[in-house]
Amino acid sequence: MGCVLTDSHGAIISDGCAHASNIRLAQTTSMHAEIHCLGRGRYRSLRGTTAYVMARARKSGNVTIGKPCLTCAIAMRSAGVEKVFYSVSNGVYAELDLESDLSKLKVYKKGCEC
């Protein structure tokens, strides 16, 4: 999964990808692409930016639904992201309304395809 933030002119100001990192004692934590992207853009004003979130199936490589989880959507809204577009399938994107759609989002659980 990946996320890109653009400014009002369409210029990319930050990007991020979902990844797992190994910690001592073989514990694994994951970072969502949206959180990684917000973290990488932390030194810039993110007010009024647009986020593009995309996911690919691991085996086939096809674009799949990349809808942000509730935690990521709240983090993006809190950071000032204005619009969020997420992948639905190859070449098809949908817009997530950060004001009215939050109640429809799922809370991420480990191992869940949210």
Total domains, the chain = 1
The reply to whether 60 falls in a domain is yes
Q: Collapsing DSSP states into helix, strand and coil, what is residue 86?
A: strand
pTM (2 d.p.): 0.83
- Position 102 scores a pLDDT of 79
Structural domain containing residue 23: 2-104
Q: Give the Cα separation of 110 and 59 in Å (integer).
A: 19
* Number of neighbouring beta carbons within 10 Å of residue 109: 9
Query: Is residue 94 in some structural domain?
Result: yes
CATH number of 41's domain = 3.40.140.10
Consecutive 10-residue averages of pLDDT for the chain (114 residues): 94 90 58 93 93 90 89 93 92 89 70 44
Residue 13, in any domain of the structure: yes
Neighbours of 102 (CB within 10 A): 13
Q: Which residues of 6-37 are buried (b: 16+ CB within 10 A; e: fewer)?
A: bbeeeeebbbbebeeeeeeeeeeeeebbbbbb
Residue 14 counted as domain residue: yes
